[in-house]
């Protein structure tokens, strides 16, 4: 294991037993980080639980000469999130970076979407981002107030579904859009304590995407060919955002897919008109239609 850009840093990665999280954990370890590998080991829909996936990733890191510990707690619970941060502090004495990645899917068209499926997806994605962030931020705030320098990083995981919407994924799209809002607020609130908070919208072949993108996300068949949809393609950006080298970058959303990195530019003022008085409904409609002719074209959600 060759120490590099994250030497000396302690990094938590949630949902790190498989897919993107596993790739992130291995990439951080390869750059010298000590890693807390969190995973409940649940199924694609969040059912069941097993500590095996996290333990296997820890074994991979240790076999390569790195340092890692497993955490099998539920990060969408207050107790689980608190124990996650405590695990980093107990094992390694500090915490420098948090990568929120845990999640699962329960896809349905809106008219078929049960309340329980809505709640479960919102819980694991939104609450599962908020609570680890809350407990990590409390630690970093305490360090800052004690006069110790903090160079902390948080990388949240949104999705193209959160930025554009995705047919059949109303719960997932809403949760991932909420993560962007949470990222913007956290970046503003935590800057004074030396914490930077960014988000990624990754596209890669994982358990969560293999059915949606089955035709386009197959691995290359010939030896040595670039596997555009490998989750490992996303991890270099995540490692950089989680390192001290990303100083000055906060409150941003990046799309990462294959060899492409894009800075996403979200809601901001476009064409506008102000009459200085109240509109009638007809006048407001006429004004809105005129503004729409000057605006960027509407982009349909995935699957439309």
Domain boundaries along the sequence of the chain: 10-264
Give me the pLDDT at residue 46, please: 46
Other Cβ atoms within 10 Å of 92 Cβ, number: 20
From the list 97, 139, 166, 172, the catalytic residue is 172
Q: Which fold has domain 10-264?
A: Rossmann fold (3.40.50)
From the list 158, 159, 243, 246, the catalytic residue is 159
Give me the pLDDT at residue 214, please: 47
Give, for all 304 residues of the chain, the pLDDT tens digit.
455 999 999 999 999 999 999 999 999 999 999 999 999 976 555 454 556 899 999 999 999 999 999 999 999 999 999 999 999 999 999 999 999 999 989 989 999 999 999 999 999 999 999 999 999 999 999 999 999 999 999 999 999 999 999 999 999 999 999 999 999 999 999 999 999 999 999 998 865 555 544 444 455 656 678 899 899 999 999 999 999 999 999 999 999 999 999 999 988 999 999 999 999 999 999 999 999 999 999 989 988 8
Give me the pLDDT at residue 45, please: 52
Q: Is 176 a catalytic residue?
A: yes
Give me the pLDDT at residue 41, please: 79
Q: Is 159 a catalytic residue?
A: yes
Give me the pLDDT at residue 68, please: 98
Give me the pLDDT at residue 47, please: 56
From the list 83, 97, 173, 176, the catalytic residue is 176
pTM: 0.91
């Amino acid at each position: 294991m060759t120490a590099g850009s994250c030497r000396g840093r302690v990094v938590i990665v949630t949902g790190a037993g498989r897919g993107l999280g596993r790739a992130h954990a291995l990439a951080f370890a390869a750059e010298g980080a000590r890693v807390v590998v969190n995973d409940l080991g649940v199924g694609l829909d969040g059912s069941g639980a097993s500590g095996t996936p996290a333990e296997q990733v820890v074994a991979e890191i240790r076999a390569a000469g790195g340092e890692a510990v497993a955490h099998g707690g539920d990060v969408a619970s207050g107790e689980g999130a608190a124990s996650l941060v405590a695990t980093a502090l107990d094992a390694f004495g500090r915490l420098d970076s948090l990568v929120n990645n845990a999640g699962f899917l329960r896809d349905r068209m809106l008219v078929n979407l049960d309340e329980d499926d809505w709640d479960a997806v919102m819980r694991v994605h939104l609450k599962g981002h908020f609570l680890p962030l809350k407990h990590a931020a409390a630690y970093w705030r305490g360090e800052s107030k004690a006069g110790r320098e903090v160079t902390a990083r948080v990388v949240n995981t949104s999705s193209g579904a959160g930025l554009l919407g995705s047919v059949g994924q109303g719960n997932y799209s809403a949760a991932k859009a909420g993560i962007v809002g949470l990222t913007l607020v956290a970046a503003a609130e935590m800057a004074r304590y030396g914490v930077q908070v960014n988000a990624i919208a990754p596209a890669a072949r994982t358990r969560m995407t293999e059915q949606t993108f089955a035709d386009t996300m197959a691995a290359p068949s010939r030896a040595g060919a670039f596997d555009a949809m490998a989750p490992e393609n996303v991890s270099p950006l995540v490692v950089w955002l989680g390192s001290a080298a990303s100083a000055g970058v906060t409150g941003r959303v990046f799309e990462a897919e294959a060899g492409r990195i894009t800075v996403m530019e979200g809601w901001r003022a476009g064409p506008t008109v102000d009459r200085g008085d109240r509109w009638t409904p007809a006048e407001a409609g006429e004004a809105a239609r005129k503004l729409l002719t000057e605006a960027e074209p509407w982009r349909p959600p995935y699957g439309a």
